[in-house]
Amino acid sequence: MAPSGRKHAKSQPRIIPGGFSVLPIQFDSDSATQHTLYIKEHKVRAEKTSRRPLDRTLFVLNIPPYCSEAVIRDLFSQFGSVQSVELRDHPGSSHESELKLSKLFTPASKQGFKVGYIVFQNSSGIAAAKKHDYDVPLVVSTEQHPVKTGVQKWIQEYKESFIQPDNLQEIVDSFMQDYDKRKEEEAERQKKEAEQQEEDEEGWVKVTRGQKGTKARPHSEAANKRTLQKEMRKKKRKELMNFYTWQHRNTQKEHIAELRKKFEEDKQKIALLRAQRKFRPY
């Protein structure tokens, strides 16, 4: 993917509102039409990530569907050594997934125009890309680096979708080994936390801080019931019922008051039943 013979020092870049530089491309040397990319130095200070350093990252808009990460890397490598290329459906922060699944378990990416983040080895690559001559388009598909589109691209992707049984078994075994290892580590961590949360001989419970980033589990009804029963048993063990005389008197008073209340309720029920059974001929 070679640019024109003009040097970047003599280039005439074009800047549009928003601070974007216009970078024209064409699919091959025989194409009569051109496509336009919009590039700008990435300067989002709120995004704190090592994957997109502020002084070496180029933000690219309007990347066509036939440009993969490998194509973009080859296309921009003429401006400087490219460290990494990231294509996304829309601009946004970088989310590094903790669990990287195999391509066999991930859905197919959405086809359409994308945005890109290109990280150069040196900051001079950004300056060279922004100074590129607007009248000299970059060629995407060359003899050294052909890019397939249309039916040819579909046939290539269809052939690459097949995988040998031995390779598939190896990928599945590797995935299951990692999964079992994570489950064992999680079980070991929960066991240690349970041991730390057990109460000692005096009834004290050691409260430890959970791992950073873990979410608190909501308490279920069964868990709440078990906790309540545990607290009641603990309270009964520590409390001596009717130990003092005044405790015994208070218990008797409460019992007598409860009996009087029940007696009054029974009287009202009997009076109501008598009134309902009274004979009234007129």
Predicted confidence (pLDDT) per residue in 4-56, tens digit = 444 444 556 787 888 888 999 988 888 888 888 999 988 876 666 678 888 88
The torsion angles phi and psi of 196, rounded to 5 degrees, stand at -70, -25
The mean pLDDT value for 121-149 works out to 86
- Distance CA(23)–CA(136), nearest Å, equals 9
DSSP track, 128-190: HHHTS-TTSPEES--SSS----HHHHHHHHHHHT---HHHHHHHHHHHHHHHHHHHHHHHHHH
Give the confidence band of 219 by pLDDT, cuts at 50, 70, 90: low
CA atoms of 162 and 54, how far apart (whole Å)? 40
Nearest-CA neighbor of 87 among 78, 98, 79, 76? 76
| Side chain identity, residue 206 | K
User: What's the confidence (pLDDT) of residue 154?
Assistant: 81
- Percent of the chain's residues with pLDDT above 70: 72
Contact of 79 with 120, CB cutoff 8 Å: yes
Range from 27-31, 58-62, 65-69, 157-161 carrying the lowest mean pLDDT? 157-161
User: 106 — phi, psi (to 5°)?
Assistant: -105, 140
Q: At residue 167, does pLDDT exceed 70?
A: yes
- Which CATH superfamily does the domain covering 8-150 fall into? RRM (RNA recognition motif) domain (3.30.70.330)
With cut-offs at 50, 70 and 90, classify the pLDDT of residue 149: confident
Exposed, middle or buried: residue 131 (CB in 10 Å: 0-12, 13-18, 19+)?
middle
- Is pLDDT at 235 greater than 60 in this prediction? yes
Cα 149 to Cα 33: distance, rounded to the nearest angstrom: 16
Whether pLDDT at 218 is above 70: no
What is the pTM assigned to this prediction? 0.52
16: closest CA among 51, 77, 62, 48?
62
**Do 62 and 21 touch, CB atoms closer than 8 A?**
no
What's the rounded Cα separation, in Å, for the pair 74 and 70? 6
CA distances (Å), origin 90, targets 63, 111, 113: 11, 12, 9
pLDDT given at position 7: 44
Q: Tokens for 38?
A: 């919009």
Backbone angles phi, psi at 195, to 5 degrees: -65, -40
Alpha-helix runs per DSSP H in the chain: 69-76, 124-130, 150-160, 165-197, 221-238, 245-277
CA distance 238 to 33: 87
pLDDT band at 182 (very low <50, low <70, confident <90, very high): very high
